[in-house]
Chains A and B, each alone.
Chain A
Amino acid sequence: MNAATPELYRALWRHRLTILVMTVLAAGTAYYQSSQSQKVYRASTLIRIEQPSSSSDPQQLGDALGVAQHLAQTYARIVSTEAIASRVHASLGSKGAHDEISINGAPVQDLELMYINAESHNPSVAAAAANATPVVLRKFIAATGGVRDKVVTINPAAVPASPVSPRPTRTALLALILALIVNAGLVLLFEFLRDRLPEPDEIEEAFGKPVLATFPKLELNQGSVRAKFPHNVASVPQTHSAKETA
């Protein structure tokens, strides 16, 4: 372990209160901001893309399934386009503004299934949009010549009870972790720039010299104990300079 590591821990421990307060403050602010933002609801409809096949040959059936899986991916892309969104909005009439509805398709891997997700600030509008999209998609397929492909609704969307965003608790938790890391980094940077001495019990380790004594703020005597100057000593060492002077 690096010799500086315990020192880093001590620096963090010294500033623990600052780190704690700043982190809680950041998490609290994130929670408040998140809880104040507009709620978004998501409703999902599960559909199946079918490729009609009259053959009972297992290989042909397998091929049809593979085609359907590819079609699910294609239709997922189509569902996410502005063209579908406009048509869905038109089919809903006055139920929700155009820019308040967001639609996308998500194919289920290795299956000929696809989720149609619709998001809106209004849960009823989200559910209505999710249920209107398969209808719009069928019309779109018919209009573009894919007459053999069938879109079957497996599970219609229900009105969502809770929003998908914001999630204040999750946001606050993420802010808490992020703020903890950032605040710890700031404290260490502050300590480095401040260039302060180590704690008394770390001095010997830091400088390789023992601490002989520590001196608190002294009460220096201004009155009763005072040197009795001036008077010279009776006899002094005979130094070289003195001898030279003599």
Chain B
Amino acid sequence: MKDPSGGAETKGRRRSRRGVVDPSHPSAEPFRSLRLALELRDGERQSNIVVFTSANPGEGKSTLAANYAVVAAINHPSVLLIDADLRSPSLHDIFQAPRAPGLVDVVLGEAAPSASHRASGLGNLDVLTAGSRVLSGGDVMSSKRMRDFVESAAVNYDLVIMDTPPILSAADAATIATGVHADIVLVIDKSSRRRAVARALRELELVHASVLGIAMNREGSIARYGYGYAYGA
């Protein structure tokens, strides 16, 4: 059910300071490392749907998902980034795009995909924002229509990347990942609690979700990726 109180942008949301990396900057290198790690994963189980999630909010999953999509779109023929964090969407902020129409509207049949999928102009990346507010995001995420939509997107796109709610806040990531046999990347950062991460992994294990591995946010120094960049400056 849609939220009767709101349309696409009802709240005076603080302007996001987030953005995307410049692919020619050393900041893009870790995403290339992630791309390589995902491309080299076990071929038999390989899915072209990658779900980004975290144990708790604020660990950087949306930022990493968005930037990974930007870097992946450089050499993938077609990449679709979906904002499936219906409770606290942020990709429209990052890409400075309208929130609606988006995923909710397409899944509920209230908008045509042609009106919702937006070419970002960044490589081959299309972005599907969260769409209109709904009261029951969990029901939308666990619906058959959602599974069908994501599966068909996986057929039409070379790579589908989904930003989903944190595991310990909602079951959406586990639901969608198991429903469409997606691979999960769990994002953690220095503020993450050890027991929370372990609990999140246990929950994913319980539903037999395919967790590819962990992406560590805010760790290390960008200087190690700086090799060679000065020459092009």
Contact = CB atoms under 8 A, between A and B. Distances in A.
A234 B119 CA distance: 8
A238 interface: yes
A143 interface: no
A222 B18 CA distance: 8
Nearest to A234: B119
A118 B120 CA distance: 94
Contacts of B108: 241
Contacts of A195: 193-195
Interface stretch (B152-160, B161-169, B170-178): B152-160
Given A216-B30, A239-B152, A241-B109, A197 B197 contact: yes
B157 to A, nearest CB: 7
B25 A206 contact: no
Interface stretch (A63-71, A119-127, A223-231): A223-231
Given A231-B118, A245-B109, A207 B198 contact: yes
Contact of A207 (B98, B110, B197, B220): B197
A231 B95 CA distance: 12
A215 B60 contact: yes
A99 interface: no
Contacts, number: 200
Query: Which of A198, A212, A229 gathers most chain B CB within 10 Å?
Result: A212
B97 interface: yes
Contacts of A232: 114-119
Contacts of B194: 195-198, 206
Summarize B's interface: helix, strand, loop or mixed. mixed
Contact of A217 (B121, B157, B216, B218): B218
B219 A239 contact: no
Contacts of A228: 119-121
Contacts of B213: 209-212
A198 B194 CA distance: 7
B37 A215 contact: no
B201 A209 contact: yes
A216 B218 contact: yes
Given A221-B20, A236-B114, 14 more contacts: A208-B201, A210-B213, A214-B215, A215-B219, A216-B224, A219-B22, A225-B23, A227-B20, A229-B97, A229-B118, A234-B119, A238-B156, A240-B145, A242-B109
Interface of B: 17-23, 25, 27, 30-31, 33-34, 37-38, 60, 63-64, 67, 95-98, 106-122, 125-127, 145, 148-149, 152-153, 155-157, 185-186, 188, 190, 192-195, 197-198, 201, 211-222, 224-225
Interface of A: 195-198, 200, 203-204, 206-222, 224-242, 244-246
